[in-house]
């Protein structure tokens, strides 16, 4: 009995000591390793000025500054996602930048691709596909092949050129790259109707739905963080980044009856050929029209 009382008193004493320690020493719910045992979340300093395609963002207006601040916070403190985006950008940006230059579209639009897909060949709930998230009707309108056998929305080079055509059409319509970017999300007709209804001339004066209202600011935040990664706490070395694939191209104007067999003849496997040519949807390629396809094979 005395032994049980002793252990009971010892337990009470331990709890009292523990509670006193945590009360005095625990200042945050988050801890980190190193000299400082606390993890701190800091407010971010909003840039004094920022632009999209050399079009200045009117940060003198409080709602504009706060909308940018929101996206900077979300993307800075979702560290794992942003670091992945930075790593992937080193693989895909060289090709995207080259095509943007050739198509005379500002380089800032590479960040539109980042927020659309995270630089992955994904499919949206609405059916948009690829890194540029193009709908099937729009894809066909701008020259991409889309059917059960081939979907060129998953071809980065061809889909980037299609996206450029759309953006240039929107720029010709609105006279603004910022509105062209908003139209990529809302549609040219959607932006046009809102401009007319609200009797304004630029994106920052528009009252839009939640997604399009955030759209430009998401692009701006990703641009700001990726171009100034160290300032936002992202530390990495060149060896940490995802390098572009080294590939050779084969021009093919015939059908492929079995892509698995074709892969083996090329000295690779089915997984590898699909990795480099995700626009091939099936285990064969129909080509009755003798269209010239470019098949990418790793060196």
Beta-carbon count within 10 A of 137 CB: 10
Rg (CA), the chain: 26
Same domain, residue pair 184 and 56: yes
The model's pTM: 0.86
The count of structural domains within the chain is 2
Quick one: pLDDT band at residue 9, thresholds 50, 70, 90?
low
Predicted confidence (pLDDT) at residue 28 exceeds the cutoff of 50 = no
Last residue of a domain, one of 196, 212, 240: 240
Residue 12 located in a structural domain: no
Q: For residue 168, what are the contacts with CB-CB under 8 A and spacing of at least 6?
A: 103, 104, 105, 180
Residue 1 located in a structural domain: no
Helix then strand then coil, % of the chain, to nearest 5: 55, 10, 35
8-17, 102-111, 169-178, 244-253: which has the minimum mean pLDDT? 8-17
Q: Which H or E run contains 182? A: helix 177-186
Same domain, residue pair 160 and 57: yes
Q: What is the mean pLDDT of residues 117-132?
A: 96
Same domain, residue pair 270 and 137: no
* pLDDT for the residue 255: 96
Last residue of a domain, one of 240, 259, 284: 240
Q: What is the mean pLDDT of residues 95-99?
A: 98
Beta-carbon count within 10 A of 4 CB: 8
- 55: which DSSP letter? E
Residue 81 located in a structural domain: yes
Give me the residues paired with residue 252 across strands: 293
Same domain, residue pair 231 and 258: no
Same domain, residue pair 221 and 293: no
Same domain, residue pair 128 and 219: yes
Residue 6 located in a structural domain: no
Same domain, residue pair 149 and 192: yes
Q: What is the mean pLDDT of residues 50-58?
A: 97
Residue 7 located in a structural domain: no
Same domain, residue pair 232 and 266: no
Last residue of a domain, one of 202, 222, 240: 240
- Backbone conformation region of residue 233, classed left if phi is above 0, alpha if psi is from -120 to 50, else beta: left
pLDDT, tens only, 187-208: 999 999 999 999 999 999 999 9
Angle between helices 156-174 and 188-198 (to 10 degrees): 20
> Strand, helix or coil at 53?
coil
Report the distance separating Cα 167 and Cα 182, nearest Å: 10
pLDDT, tens only, 223-246: 999 999 999 999 999 999 999 999
Same domain, residue pair 194 and 262: no
Same domain, residue pair 230 and 264: no
* pLDDT for the residue 26: 44
Strands (E), the chain: 51-52, 55-56, 247-252, 293-298
Give the CATH number for residue 201. 1.10.530.10
Question: Which residue range forms the structural domain that includes residue 291?
Answer: 247-298
Same domain, residue pair 227 and 251: no
Distance in Å from the first CA to the final CA of the chain: 79
**Total count of residues recorded for the chain:** 299
Same domain, residue pair 130 and 274: no
Nearest residue to 115 (alpha-carbon basis) of 184, 57, 179:
184
């Amino acid at each position: 009995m005395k032994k049980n009382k002793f252990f009971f008193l010892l337990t009470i004493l331990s709890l009292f000591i523990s509670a006193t320690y945590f009360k005095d020493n625990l200042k945050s719910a988050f801890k980190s390793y190193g000299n400082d045992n606390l993890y701190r979340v800091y407010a971010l300093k909003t840039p004094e000025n920022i632009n999209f395609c050399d079009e200045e963002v009117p940060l003198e207006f409080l709602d504009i500054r706060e909308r940018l601040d929101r996206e900077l916070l979300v993307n800075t403190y979702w560290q794992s996602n942003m670091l992945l985006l930075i790593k992937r950008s080193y693989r895909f940006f060289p090709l995207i930048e080259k095509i943007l230059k050739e198509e005379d579209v500002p380089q800032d639009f590479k960040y539109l691709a980042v927020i659309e897909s995270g630089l992955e060949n994904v499919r949206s709930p609405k059916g948009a596909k690829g890194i540029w998230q193009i709908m099937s009707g729009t894809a066909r309108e701008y020259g991409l092949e889309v059917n059960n056998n081939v979907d060129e929305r998953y071809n980065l080079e061809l889909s980037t050129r299609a996206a450029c055509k759309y953006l240039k059409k929107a720029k010709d319509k609105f006279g603004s790259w910022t509105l062209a970017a908003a139209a990529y999300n809302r549609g040219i007709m959607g932006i046009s109707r809102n401009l007319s209804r609200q009797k304004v001339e630029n994106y920052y004066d528009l009252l839009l739905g939640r997604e399009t209202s955030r759209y430009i600011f998401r692009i701006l935040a990703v641009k700001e963080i990726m171009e100034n990664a160290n300032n936002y706490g992202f530390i990495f070395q060149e060896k940490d980044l995802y390098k572009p694939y080294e590939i050779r191209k084969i021009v093919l104007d015939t059908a492929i009856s079995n892509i698995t067999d074709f892969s083996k003849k090329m000295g690779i496997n089915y997984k590898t050929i699909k990795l480099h040519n995700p626009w091939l949807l099936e285990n064969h390629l129909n080509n009755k029209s003798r269209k010239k396809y470019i098949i990418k094979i790793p060196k």
